A and B are shown apart, each in its own frame.
Chain A
Amino acid sequence: MKNHLLSINDLTKEDVLSIISTAAELEKITEGPTKKLPTLRGRTIVNLFFEDSTRTRISFETAAKRLSADVINFSAKGSSVSKGESLKDTAQTLQAMGADAVVIRHGSSGAAQRLADSGWISATVINAGDGTHEHPTQALLDAFTIAKRFPERKADFTGLRIAIVGDILHSRVARSNVLLLTKLGAQVTLVAPPTLLPVGVESWPVRISYELDSELEQFDVVMMLRIQLERMTNFYFPNEREYSRRYGLNEDRLLRMKKEAIVMHPGPMNRGLEISAASADSSRSVIVDQVGNGVLTRMAVLYLLLGGATLGEVS
């Protein structure tokens, strides 16, 4: 595995399978009375969050603490970053403090790669979401979640049909998932109004659909993306009612899905907009599982990237 996790493109298929199997193993180990492992004791992990994201930050923080790492949370608001300090100066400050890994969330696409490539810092960089580019650990936890729901496949998604529905244009979750799920063999269909698909999407290894209904019965996984209300002001769609009617996962659509098909959502959800409450809370929904799997997947990523002791030793 490479030193950093900036994009799913940094991972080979073997790397992905290794992360998924490590997450599964960590789940077994931490099911016992002690949730905490000593593998990263003495290592310092910085959560560098230029954007508010309580969910992702808490997930990474929990993962790092369960591996006994020291965690520093550095959020932009109220810090020197909001007073105009550059990414470079922040990075060099963290370097001077001896950070072993920096988990970065940033509103600018490419910020994580910039941090890793610039020479400002020698720590391992983990991308926790950069602008509208990628969110690799989200895709990894999604793949882990799907793998657990279809255990007979042993993380081979060949022939699995997965729909990703919603604002593809602005979604880092969609970009990472397209790369990862197709790497594992899945057939991915992006479902969105044409306004919310990027120009150039025809070069992606996916199928495109402008409507949700025609193939709904054939999907094994339906992943709904959060729709941001500010998109309406830029004419991406007329209003939320129309969006919800055409692209929302309501009960009618839920009932038409394949018997074993599952519903996913990276959160936070807009209940009643892209997903109805009944769909979110149904037995098909693995949305709560995704959260738990997120901690395990991030533990696996930190563990593998920071080269902790072998799992055999600690268990």
Chain B
Amino acid sequence: MSKISTNDVYTLKGVSLADGTVLNIVISGSTIASLGSESDGEIIDCTGLMALPGFVDLHTHLREPGKEDSETVLTGSRAAVVGGYTAISAMANTSPVADTAGVVEQVFRLGKEAGLCEVFPIGAVTVGLLGERLSEIGAMAESAAAVRVFSDDGKCVSDPLVMRRALEYVKSFGGIIAQHAQDPRLTENSQMNEGEVSSRLGLAGWPAVAEEAIIARDILLADHVKSRLHICHLTTRGGVELVRWAKSQGINVTAEVTPHHLLLTDELVESYDPIYKVNPPLRTQADVLALREGLADGTIDIVATDHAPHPTEDKECEWSAAAFGMLGLETALSVVVKTMVETGAITWSKLVEVMSINPAKIGGYDRQGKPLQVGGPANIVVVNPTAEWIVDRGHMASKSRNTPFHGMTLPTKVLHTIFEGVFVLKDAELTGAKHE
């Protein structure tokens, strides 16, 4: 267990930055005190390790309040820290839904109490996620949680007028609407990507066009009302093309991709194992390659986990009865390294942009996503870029076990996570320390 407390001084010795520079990082309290050859306080040997700004997840399901059997703010924070995250964003589809100041403040407070990373609640766009009436967006923005990101994730804001109004309304405080792009009529009872595999398996299809039609519409709406739009979990080649076009037109749109959509394809559904059931669904290899290309060239701004814990019984059943969703926090970095860095598609510096700097900017998270610099916040992850590890669903920090990567050997191990100067993860173990 680490003895380091918030007021201590210590040195990460001989650590390399994303650009390859090797130096010492001295941390004092919650701030980076120096970068260079100096050292002070306890010396932590980081030879061969890499220090990066702590990761920021813009799309996390923490399940509390309401579904504490699958995750809580505390257990989700633990999973985040194990994955190298120093900030996560709690999606609104809890029970009750986070559509009032009361609920977002509760989640915000639980995040503070956990003290392992920053927890930013996302507010629901519409009351009860029903897509009919705007929720109290202003009250949530002005609450202690100071919500800036709004989303009905899990459901699409499908009514074009409601979406238009939401986009307009959040302009008053610089907010953003994160859309789960899924035309509900085109995806009634959908079970998997619609294509060759679904035709053989006899599972109802979730067509790419159901995602792309909403993306196209919302891009045009965002342009029309000059507001900010964020597209959640892009999964199709056509969606990437649409966002690329929008950016070329100067439209204020950002987009995310999940680690699982960068690696897995719909052929895995042939097992009928619901561990691969997720919404939006796993697509084809051509889509996977288009997503990687989009992430590399900046069309897709960020990686977001869509960490979606579910209890065992919701996956240990027949396909159509199973819940949609996969764990993501603890494996995200390794999957991005495997699919993007090891393939030569992006550098480590670019990885820092898509996993830390850009999501912090989109969410407006002031103390997150800052390049490591003197005077900056000590929100840091230290990884071993050459280590490999085997994913074991029996050893997850999350309360749930629904990882699709179980048994896979993945590159890069998160060793230390430092949140506001506090070692919350050390040598890949939770220290028990927290930021007060």
Q: Which residues of A does B touch, CB under 8 Å?
A: 86-88, 106-111, 113-114, 117-118, 130-134, 172, 175, 198-201, 203-204
The size of the chain B interface, using a CB distance under 8 A, is 24
| Cβ contact of B316, chosen from A88, A108, A132, A203, cutoff 8 A | A88
The 8 closest A-B pairs by CB, nearest first: A110-B272, A200-B199, A133-B202, A132-B202, A198-B199, A200-B196, A108-B320, A108-B318
**Is B317's CB under 8 angstroms from A110's CB?**
no
CB-based nearest B residue for A106: B318
| Cβ contact of B199, chosen from A118, A131, A203, cutoff 8 A | A203
In the complex, which residues of chain B have a beta carbon less than 8 angstroms from the beta carbon of A204?
Answer: 199-200
**Is B198's CB under 8 angstroms from A110's CB?**
no
| Cβ contact of A110, chosen from B194, B201, B207, B313, cutoff 8 A | B201
Answer whether residue B29 sits at the interface, using C-beta atoms and an 8 A cutoff.
Answer: no
**Is B202's CB under 8 angstroms from A175's CB?**
yes
Task: Tell me the B190-239 residues at the A interface (CB within 8 Å).
Answer: 191, 194-205, 207
Residue among B205, B207, B320 with most chain A CB within 10 A: B320
**Is B199's CB under 8 angstroms from A110's CB?**
no
* Minimal beta-carbon separation of B186 from chain A (angstroms): 12
Answer whether residue B271 sits at the interface, using C-beta atoms and an 8 A cutoff.
Answer: yes
* Minimal beta-carbon separation of A138 from chain B (angstroms): 14
**Is B316's CB under 8 angstroms from A86's CB?**
yes
CB-based nearest A residue for B199: A200
Answer whether residue B319 sits at the interface, using C-beta atoms and an 8 A cutoff.
Answer: yes
**Pair count A-B, CB < 8 A:** 78
**Is B319's CB under 8 angstroms from A108's CB?**
yes
In the complex, which residues of chain B have a beta carbon less than 8 angstroms from the beta carbon of A130?
Answer: 202
In the complex, which residues of chain A have a beta carbon less than 8 angstroms from the beta carbon of B320?
Answer: 107-109, 131
**Is B318's CB under 8 angstroms from A114's CB?**
yes
Given known pairs A109-B320, A110-B319, A114-B318, the reply for A133 and B313 (CB within 8 Å) is no
CB-based nearest A residue for B274: A114
Q: B173-203 interface mask toward A, CB cutoff 8 Å, 1 = contact, 0 = none?
A: 0000000000000000001001111111111
Task: Tell me the B58-93 residues at the A interface (CB within 8 Å).
Answer: none
Answer whether residue B321 sits at the interface, using C-beta atoms and an 8 A cutoff.
Answer: yes
**Is A109's CB under 8 angstroms from B272's CB?**
yes
**Is B272's CB under 8 angstroms from A201's CB?**
no
**Is B205's CB under 8 angstroms from A114's CB?**
no
| Cβ contact of B318, chosen from A87, A200, A203, cutoff 8 A | A87
CB-based nearest B residue for A199: B194
CB-based nearest A residue for B205: A199
* Minimal beta-carbon separation of A166 from chain B (angstroms): 15
**Is B271's CB under 8 angstroms from A200's CB?**
no
Task: Tell me the B292-314 residues at the A interface (CB within 8 Å).
Answer: 313
In the complex, which residues of chain A have a beta carbon less than 8 angstroms from the beta carbon of B202?
Answer: 109, 130-134, 172, 175
Given known pairs A200-B195, A200-B198, the reply for A109 and B313 (CB within 8 Å) is no
Extra inter-chain contacts (18) besides given A117-B272, A199-B205, A203-B196, CB under 8 Å: A88-B316, A107-B320, A108-B320, A109-B201, A109-B202, A109-B319, A110-B318, A111-B318, A117-B273, A118-B316, A134-B202, A198-B199, A198-B205, A199-B194, A199-B207, A200-B195, A200-B197, A200-B205
